[in-house]
Amino acid sequence: MVLPCGIVGLPNAGKSSLFKALTGHDIAIENFPYTTTESNFGVVNVPDHRLNKLSEMENPQKTIPNTVEFIDIAGLAKGASQGEGLGNSFLDSIRHSEAIIHVIRCFDNDHIVHINTTVDPVRDKEELDFELQLKDLETVAKSIERNKKAVKSGDKKIVQLLQLLEQVKKQLDEGGFVRQMNLTTEEWKMLRSFSFLTGKKILYAANVDDAGMKGNKHVDALKAVIGNENSELVILNARLESEIAEIEDPDERIEFMQMFDLREPGVNVLIHAAYHLLDLITFFTIGKNEVRAWATPKGSTAPQSAGVIHSDFERGFIRAEMIKYEDYVKYGSEQACKDHAKFHVVGKDYVVQDGDQLHFLFNV
């Protein structure tokens, strides 16, 4: 399950430096706007100490981690919703992302060009928000007109959809975001095909300099304005992260990070935050040939999680054998877990928990 996260922001906010640090891709980074004119794609492993531990215990032929896909999307310009700059390409790339990582410049440096001349993270955030809201208003207005014609058929589903779209329009007209709406699970399903840009889950990446790695006035201003958004924020130094990613020797990398009081690269924190932003949890399968981490949506039942591996597993699901990660590590083997009553057989109603080790039994 590889779900894409779009990295967005104003030109020169640090998007491409962050993408390079995440993926290791060698892309052009220059001190002028629109260095990135097309989207770049990269699939990144999700760091997980639990997978490393299980692999150490089992010594399999292969160890396969979870992954997240990141898309470095071209910088936004004012008027993007009307096609200005790289607007249409920019907005289409966001539409195909499951979540948004909004990189916002939160440091002062006269030698690095800012498209709006001055550093103001609140203004920069609101500029991108406004363009996404305008595009969503255009989408919902067209959809309302189309469904007003179709509603004459008397189809109750179309009537319900039209009423829901009117709610969306009201939310946007009042300056709100679709993701803030208090909707039922069924209503969210009805809206999914519209891919509203302000309906995407969002993570803010405050790009700071060396002096701001524990926060600064710009980060404080950004935190204050996103307080009611139900979003997440990660503070990192994209330039520094890019330098860390270039150090191949593990010991040298640790020594370099210690100079900046970092226990792990900031991009690892971002990867985990993006993974959780997508509402994903991890379960494991273990064998002599392969130890593997699998991503499944939070709240998934055992059959639904089996379907992540193969659709036949879900269709023919009989039961699953489950051991908690902590128990497996504590007792060291499946048999020892059985001996200590830590081996469980679960059925179709079992909701998979983060860290479960699972073995599925099914009919073909």
Q: Are 68 and 53 in contact (CB under 8 A)?
A: no
Confirm whether 159 is domain-assigned: yes
Confirm whether 182 is domain-assigned: yes
- Residue 296 pairs in a beta bridge with 281
Do 250 and 312 lie in one domain? The reply is no
Do 239 and 315 lie in one domain? The reply is no
pLDDT score of 16 = 85
CA distance 297 to 354: 10
pLDDT score of 90 = 67
Do 51 and 180 lie in one domain? The reply is yes
Do 217 and 353 lie in one domain? The reply is no
Confirm whether 313 is domain-assigned: yes
Torsion of CA 79, 104, 200, 302, to 10 degrees: 160
Q: How many domains does the chain have?
A: 2
pLDDT band at 32; cut points 50, 70, 90: very low
The pLDDT tens digits of the residues spanning 170-228 come to 999 999 999 999 999 999 999 999 999 999 999 999 999 999 999 999 999 999 999 87
Q: Are 99 and 202 in contact (CB under 8 A)?
A: yes
Closest CA to 321 of 364, 282, 286, 280: 286
Closest CA to 190 of 154, 156, 222, 214: 156
**End-of-domain residue from the set 215, 243, 277:** 277
CA distance 59 to 288: 7
Confirm whether 290 is domain-assigned: no
Which of the residue ranges 95-99, 207-211, 306-310 would you say has the lowest mean pLDDT?
A: 95-99
Q: Are strands 99-105 and 201-207 parallel, antiparallel or unpaired?
A: parallel
CATH number at residue 311: 3.10.20.30
pLDDT score of 75 = 65
Closest CA to 266 of 253, 283, 279: 253
**What's the domain range around 312?**
299-362
pLDDT: is 152 or 210 the higher one?
210
pLDDT band at 77; cut points 50, 70, 90: low
Confirm whether 293 is domain-assigned: no
pLDDT score of 86 = 45
Do 267 and 312 lie in one domain? The reply is no
pLDDT score of 323 = 98
- What average pLDDT does range 66-87 have in this prediction? 67
Do 304 and 352 lie in one domain? The reply is yes
Residues ≥6 apart with Cβ < 8 Å to 153: none
pLDDT at 38 over 60: yes
- Residue 45 pairs in a beta bridge with 67
**End-of-domain residue from the set 221, 247, 277:** 277
The pLDDT tens digits of the residues spanning 239-291 come to 999 999 999 999 999 999 999 999 999 999 999 999 988 899 999 999 999 99
Confirm whether 72 is domain-assigned: yes
**End-of-domain residue from the set 277, 311, 333:** 277
- What average pLDDT does range 45-54 have in this prediction? 95
Do 239 and 118 lie in one domain? The reply is yes
The pLDDT tens digits of the residues spanning 288-301 come to 999 999 999 999 99
Q: Are 206 and 235 in contact (CB under 8 A)?
A: yes
pLDDT score of 31 = 41
Angle, helices 121-150 vs 156-173, to 10°: value is 150
Do 247 and 325 lie in one domain? The reply is no
Do 36 and 109 lie in one domain? The reply is yes
Do 119 and 13 lie in one domain? The reply is yes
pLDDT at 364 over 70: yes
Confirm whether 68 is domain-assigned: yes
User: How large is the C-alpha radius of gyration of the chain?
Assistant: 23
pLDDT score of 170 = 96
Which of the residue ranges 27-31, 42-46, 233-237 would you say has the lowest mean pLDDT?
A: 27-31
- What average pLDDT does range 38-53 have in this prediction? 90
- What average pLDDT does range 88-116 have in this prediction? 83
129-133 long-range Cβ contacts below 8 angstroms, 24+ apart: 129/177, 129/198, 131/76, 131/78, 131/79, 131/80, 131/81, 131/87, 131/91, 132/81, 132/91, 132/94, 132/197, 132/198, 133/172, 133/175, 133/177, 133/198
Residue for token pair 């290791």: 24
CA distance 178 to 356: 34
pLDDT score of 78 = 60
Do 171 and 245 lie in one domain? The reply is yes
pLDDT score of 88 = 56
pLDDT score of 28 = 44
CATH number at residue 212: 3.40.50.300
pLDDT score of 116 = 77
Do 37 and 145 lie in one domain? The reply is yes
Closest CA to 98 of 280, 282, 265, 235: 280
Instruction: Give me the chain's average pLDDT, please.
Output: 89
